[in-house]
Amino acid sequence: MTVDKAAIEWRRHLHQYPEFGTEEFKTAEFVANKLEEFGIEVHRGIGGTGVVGILREGSSERSIGLRADMDALRIQEENTFCHASKLEGAMHACGHDGHTAMLLGAACELAQHRNFDGTVYFIFQPDEERGTGAKAMIADGLFTRWKMDAIYAMHNLPGIPAGKFVTRPSSVMASESSFEIVINATGGHAALPHMGTDPIVVGAQVVTALQTIVSRNLSAINETAVISVTNFETNGTVNVIPSQVTITGDTRSFTDEALRKIEEGIERVVAGQCMSAGVDYQYRFNNSFLSTINTQEETQHAISAAEKVVGVENVVGNCEPFTISEDFSFMLREVKGCYILVGNGVGECGGTALHNPYYDFNDEILGTGMRYWQTLVEAQLAK
């Protein structure tokens, strides 16, 4: 059986048995066993359920890291094909099964042919979806136990023709942060608003004023960002002015400086509105993902490898940034590297959106992804 056909079998097996973040026990064991079959040194339990495979060839001290994510989502799959998820409420709806299979296929090819001089680290990461897996592997010594000159990752993207690659230098994906604002007032009877303080009025003013952070505090050219209020809750009822309002939401930005301005700006807006109304507040801001920032040189290496595999006409090296987020961003804060996206297809052939119950990874791009990884390694660690 060819590696391409084997990769399809691996991918469909993984799709049938999805596991949530930090619970990828069977997936990790499957990956580790395959790597050992290929003759690759294996380290299990990195950052919980993470796996690192190490392949050395020649005498060079040069090194490269390749990362794939393994976790699934809490989504009930609606597909009816033979390899659909066998687990209730769990599904590979983001294509991590495909990412894992592509990197395993590349590991197999590289171990067989060994057309490079240096060290390749195959990094299989848990819990990307919640943004804890990369940080856990880093905390467990991913970059202190092992030296990597650069690190690369790849993700599929529906809506782009199958096998077409897109990336860009600098910020390719946004940071993601959530916020919670709790406004405490006295409330009271709806017929007697003058006898208390009304948190709904204050909350409404906060919601409106939050949009001025993007429109008036951030550069329209260099600091693109989004602030979205996604929920507004009170403890009132039809004839009762509530004593508490809770506002929650989500923010996206492309630079660390914009992220800082948003975090500080939200509290400034809330504090000002609450002070003018004479009410109290609590504010919590949580950053789940940093912006994914590709380094210039490594992005060019990634583009060059992709062009060799699919042709110059099928590679976009300066795409528009995406407002979705990725926890590979934390690894790029430690080591220079590049995150690239490969088209999963359009329409019925791979075009179903990520995180959708009808999504499926397009097996036609497994070979493309495998050859991209192999080409990148052989170019960066050329003999």
Given the residues 19, 24, 69, 71, the one annotated as active site: 71
Alpha carbon distance 381, 66 (integer Å): 13
Given the residues 57, 128, 198, 298, the one annotated as active site: 128
Residue owning tokens 């003018």: 276
Residue owning tokens 């294509």: 95
71 is catalytic: yes
29 is catalytic: no
Coil, strand, or helix at residue 244? strand
In contact, 319 and 302? CB cutoff 8 Å: no
Give all strands (DSSP E) within 87-168, no chain letters: 118-125, 151-158, 165-166
Give all strands (DSSP E) within 47-173, no chain letters: 50-57, 63-69, 118-125, 151-158, 165-166, 170-173
Known binding-site residue numbers for Mn(2+)? 94, 96, 129, 155, 355
Alpha carbon distance 180, 116 (integer Å): 50
Alpha carbon distance 236, 65 (integer Å): 54
Order of all β-strands in the sheet with 280-289: 225-234, 244-253, 175-184, 280-289
Tell me which residues are annotated as active site: 71, 128
